[in-house]
Amino acid sequence: MDSAFSALTSAASGIQSNLRGLQQTAHDIATASVNGEEPTELVDSLVDAIVQQRALEASANVMRRVDEAIGSIIDTFA
């Protein structure tokens, strides 16, 4: 059960970290035109947003799988 808790903790940490990253990239994209940056400067922020999104999805998938595994264990003993 410790490994399940560890996986959940890791997944939750990943979700929090990636949400912060998404917020930062959203801020970078939103303020790029105000700062007078060239459109090519947005490419890095857009790519970072996609990377953060994929990592967030992976963390959520880990959390879902652990939840399913714990549910199966509970069902087995019930």
Task: Give 6-61 as a DSSP string.
Answer: HHHHHHHHHHHHHHHHHHHHHHHHHHHTTTT--HHHHHHHHHHHHHHHHHHHHHHH
Domain that holds residue 25: 2-30+42-77
- Residue range 12-60, pLDDT digits in tens: 999 999 999 999 999 988 888 776 767 667 888 899 999 999 999 999 9
Average pLDDT over residues 63-68: 94
- At 65, the pLDDT band (50, 70, 90 cuts) reads very high
Q: Is residue 71 in some structural domain?
A: yes
Q: Is residue 10 in some structural domain?
A: yes
Q: Is residue 37 in some structural domain?
A: no
As given in the structure block, the two tokens for residue 36 are 């007078």
pTM for the full predicted model = 0.80
Is the confidence at residue 6, as pLDDT, over 70?
yes
The helix/strand/coil state of 72 is helix
State the residue for tokens 């959520």: 60
Q: Is residue 36 in some structural domain?
A: no
